[in-house]
């Protein structure tokens, strides 16, 4: 079956999509479908990314074949979404979702997609790009435009509002005003979308190259407050100043909000929520310890753990745009960094039990006791003493302190 080629003038600056740019296992999958008399085409994000010359993470195929026939053609295929006509076919290039056309033809299927840059296909039979909505032109122009009526596309699937913001964050593209208006109108309907899907889109947005662009779109559409009430107005600017560190980016967005409840609602990992609660409890970091008191600095390092440097990065990104009190806070932050650097350079910095010059087995052997709570209390005592006086962290000095503690506890 023939399909219209990309419209004239739609090529822009993107290179042509030729067969040799498609991995061999994907070509073979298409060939198997075509050999069975079916129509088959690569579609959506994989076509977009192939045209961009970007790495393709997932290949998707649309076909005239019903899912039952796909399962017959590919014995190792897995029905992952029969309700939507989707079957997963394992290949050497990774799993490929093969989905039956939505509608009576490939063009009708493309007409039901969200954005023009996602409404392109590569026809496996003709070996040509099918681009009825000038998606390639929009791709070259850095523009996110709806397929047809933006409001209708968003109404079909409210999650498309988050996808548009996520794609803007990943690609750095501008979003048409019609799409922005449709995002705002569709915001209430997001309450009915599976929370796992919302969380996955936000997660991908936050680690994208341009997270601020996506968050600004969500703020303007009223979606950011709906997902995470209390987040700060400067979140987009702060995010754009930070490296693509998942914990750090989530912390930047969660400032002012309740990270535990937000991440639970978005079905994000509990371990991430716990870490964000601990991290943000120490924000702003320059107020968490007096740099002139070494023991305070060491206790702060124990509380912050591996996140101390993240807290500094977060605060620095925040202070760049801070007009009131920014200079004083920056000076205090610099003083704390110097104090931490000094503490780290002192040698054996024992912040936790496992940093001590002896362990639980040494305690039991020295005291002649069995495993139990007393061993844990002894190690906690020694850790606290070393926090106060790092020079104590030698085996001999710790044993002297241990003897004194043991005698005191047995009175």
Strand partners, 43: 121
CB < 8 Å & 24+ apart, contacts of 7-12:
7/131, 7/132, 7/134, 7/137, 9/134, 9/137, 10/131, 10/134, 10/135, 10/136, 10/137, 11/136, 11/137, 11/140, 12/136, 12/137, 12/139, 12/140, 12/141
CB contact set of 136 (below 8 Å; sequence gap of 6+): 6, 10, 11, 12, 14, 51, 120, 129
Confidence (pLDDT) at 354: 61
Dihedral pair phi/psi, residue 329, rounded to 5° = -65, -40
Neighbours of 133 (CB within 10 A): 24
Q: Are the beta carbons of 109 and 126 closer than 8 angstroms?
A: no
pLDDT of the chain, 411 residues: tens digit per residue: 445 444 434 444 567 888 999 999 999 999 999 999 999 999 999 999 999 999 999 999 999 999 999 999 999 999 988 888 999 999 999 999 999 999 889 999 999 999 999 999 999 999 999 999 999 999 999 999 999 999 999 999 999 999 999 999 999 999 999 999 999 999 999 999 999 999 999 999 999 999 999 999 999 999 999 999 999 999 999 999 999 999 999 999 999 999 999 999 999 999 999 999 999 999 999 999 898 888 888 888 888 888 999 999 999 999 997 766 688 999 999 999 999 888 877 755 556 666 777 888 877 887 888 888 888 887 877 777 777 777 777 787 887 777 787 778 876
Dihedral pair phi/psi, residue 347, rounded to 5° = 115, -125
Q: Nearest to residue 405, comparing CAs of 387, 391, 397, 348?
A: 397
The DSSP string of 241-259 is TS-S-HHHHHHHHHTTS-H
Q: How many separate helices (H) and strands (E) can be counted in the chain? A: 21, 9
Neighbours of 192 (CB within 10 A): 8
What is d(CA 341, CA 344) in angstroms, rounded to the nearest whole number? 5
What is d(CA 378, CA 390) in angstroms, rounded to the nearest whole number? 17
Look up the pTM and report it: 0.83
Confidence (pLDDT) at 7: 45
Q: Nearest to residue 386, comparing CAs of 348, 335, 344?
A: 348
What is d(CA 16, CA 267) in angstroms, rounded to the nearest whole number? 40
What is d(CA 93, CA 57) in angstroms, rounded to the nearest whole number? 10
Q: What is the 3-state secondary structure (H, E, C) of 275-331?
A: HHHHHHHCCCHHHCCCCCCHHHHHHHHHHHHHHHHHHHHHHHHHHCCCCCCHHHHHH
Confidence (pLDDT) at 2: 44
Q: Are the beta carbons of 285 and 311 closer than 8 angstroms?
A: yes
């Amino acid at each position: 079956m023939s399909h219209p080629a990309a419209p004239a003038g739609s090529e822009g600056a993107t290179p042509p999509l030729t067969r040799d740019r498609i991995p061999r296992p994907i070509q073979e999958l298409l060939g198997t479908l075509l050999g069975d008399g079916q129509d088959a085409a690569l579609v959506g994000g994989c076509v977009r990314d192939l045209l961009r010359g970007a790495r393709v993470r997932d290949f998707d195929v649309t076909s005239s074949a019903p899912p039952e026939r796909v399962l017959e053609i590919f014995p190792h295929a897995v029905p992952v979404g029969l309700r939507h006509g989707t079957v997963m076919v394992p290949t050497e290039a990774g799993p490929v979702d093969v989905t039956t056309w939505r509608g009576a033809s490939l063009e009708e299927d493309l007409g039901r997609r969200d954005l023009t840059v996602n409404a392109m296909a590569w026809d496996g039979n003709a070996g040509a790009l099918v681009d009825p909505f000038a998606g390639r032109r929009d791709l070259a122009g850095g523009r996110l435009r709806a397929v047809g009526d933006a409001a209708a596309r968003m109404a079909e699937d409210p999650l498309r509002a988050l996808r548009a913001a996520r794609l803007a964050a990943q690609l750095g593209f501008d979003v048409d005003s019609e799409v922005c208006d449709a995002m705002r109108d569709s915001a209430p309907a997001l309450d009915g979308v599976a929370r796992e899907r919302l969380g996955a889109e936000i997660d991908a947005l936050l680690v994208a190259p341009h997270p601020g662009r996506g968050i600004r779109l969500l703020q303007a559409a009223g979606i950011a407050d709906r997902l995470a009430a209390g987040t700060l107005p400067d979140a987009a600017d702060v995010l754009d100043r930070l490296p693509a560190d998942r914990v750090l980016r989530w912390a930047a967005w969660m400032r002012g909000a309740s990270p535990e409840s937000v991440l639970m609602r978005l079905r994000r990992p509990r371990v991430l929520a716990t870490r964000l609660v601990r991290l943000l409890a120490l924000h702003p970091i320059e107020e968490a310890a007096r740099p002139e008191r070494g023991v305070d600095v060491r206790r702060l390092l124990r509380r912050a753990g591996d996140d101390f440097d993240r807290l500094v990065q977060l605060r620095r990104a925040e202070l760049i745009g801070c007009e009131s009190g920014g200079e004083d806070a920056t000076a205090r932050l610099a003083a704390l960094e110097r104090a931490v650097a000094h503490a780290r350079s002192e040698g054996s910095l024992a912040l936790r039990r496992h940093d001590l010059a002896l362990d639980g087995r040494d305690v039991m052997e020295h005291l002649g006791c069995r495993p139990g709570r007393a061993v844990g209390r002894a190690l906690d005592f020694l850790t606290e003493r070393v926090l106060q006086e790092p020079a104590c962290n030698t085996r001999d000095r710790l044993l002297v302190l241990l003897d004194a503690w043991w005698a005191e506890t047995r009175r």
